[in-house]
Structures are given as structure tokens and as C-alpha cells.
Amino acid sequence: TTSRRCSLSLHGVAFWEQPSFARCISNEYKHLQHSIKEHLAKGQRTLAGEGMSQVTKTLLDLTQRKNFYAGDLLVSVEILRNVTDTFKRASYIPASDGVQNFFQIVSNLLDEENKEKWEDAQQIYQGSIELMQVIEDFIHIVGMGMMDFQNSYLMTGNVVASIQKLPAASVLTDINFPMRGRKGMVDWARNSEDRVVIPKSIFTPMST
């Protein structure tokens, strides 16, 4: 459904605000949302995990098209939450292409062209906050499937993620993010003044 609010100006004159599409959901997204229930109904953990990987591929295709409503953004976040929660319950570690697909979906959702759609969607639900929490949970799942000293660096148009699994005793230098000199680093991250530094001292056991 589309809604449009009637407001009053400072002079007491009524006017129509821009229509909101935050509750509009495309049929393709509704169908994908429904398919999640079918995959979960399989019961077997591995099958459920594999089903969620297929859901991710389909969602990637949908978000690549870029012609969606504000409500589709919120449904996409909900789908990613269901995918992540299913992976967690099934102790299912997605393959490398599945991880890349996940972050490409996030990148598509965060595209600059969607800024007004996000502002519209935020009127009914704080989807951006939920998306950040989903990303954090997904990273934990990927990390659990890594071997010690393994790392994964993912770069898309709007997202850069570094996932590393290191024994605390092996951290001898500060960890800097992003690694601006890394080959293939996207320009916006390379040129950004923002960075995160994790000091090596936090990995050192406290002396008693």
C-alpha cells in the first residue's frame, strides 16, 4: 500500500507530502520471502542451509536490477536476517561465493541511488540498524568456519569487510582497517580519512 500524509505549513495551509512506498513490496520479493518457509520446512539442517544459499543468489539477482520500492529494502533486510539465523542454527558455513553474494547484496542495498528510499523506509522501521546487526552476525558465522591465520577481504562498490581469525598470541602489531595499500582496494576506501585501529595491546593477557 502507498500512503501520503496531509500536513500543515507554518501558515496553516494544508498540503500533501511526498507519497511513501515503505509498505510497498514487489511480487518477486514476496515470493522469495515465502520460499524461505519452504526451505525451513525441509527440516534437515544441511538442506535448510543450502536452501538459504539459493535464496541469497535470488536476492542478489533482484537487488542488481535496482528498480525496487522502499518496502523492498526492508524485506531484503528481513530475508538476510532469516538467512543468517538459519545458517547459525544449522551450523552451516556458506561457501566463498555465498559470502561474496551476501556482501554484494548489502552493497546493492546501500547504493547512493537508494538514499531517498532508505529515508522513506526508516519512517516505519529502523532497517539500517537491523542491517548492520545482520552483517555483524554473518561475519561471526564466517569467522567460525575459518582456520587459524586465515583471512578474507571482501570489497564491493559500497562495502569493504575484513574477516580474520588469529590466535591472540600471534598478534604482534596493531591491526589497521581498511588496508589502503591492498591491491584492488576501492578508491573511496583508499582515500577515506576514516579508519579503525585495533591496538595489539588488547590481545596481551593482563598481568596479575
Burial class (CB in 10 A: 0-12, 13-18, 19+), 135: middle
The pTM assigned to this predicted structure is 0.84
Would you say 63 and 21 are in contact if contact means Cβ atoms under 8 Å apart? no
Distance CA 197, CA 171 (A): 13
Helix 45-65 / helix 70-90 crossing angle, nearest 10 deg: 160
Spell out the per-residue pLDDT of the chain, length 208, in tens.
Answer: 666 566 667 777 665 567 677 788 899 999 999 888 887 776 667 777 788 889 999 999 999 987 888 999 999 999 999 999 988 888 888 888 999 999 999 999 999 999 999 998 888 888 899 999 999 999 999 998 888 888 888 888 899 888 888 888 888 888 888 777 777 777 777 777 778 888 888 887 766 5
- Which domains does the chain carry? 20-159 (1.25.40.610), 166-207 (no CATH)
For residue 150, what is its C-alpha cell? Answer: 586465515
Distance CA 105, CA 117 (A): 16
Among 100, 107, 84, residue whose Cα is nearest residue 157: 107
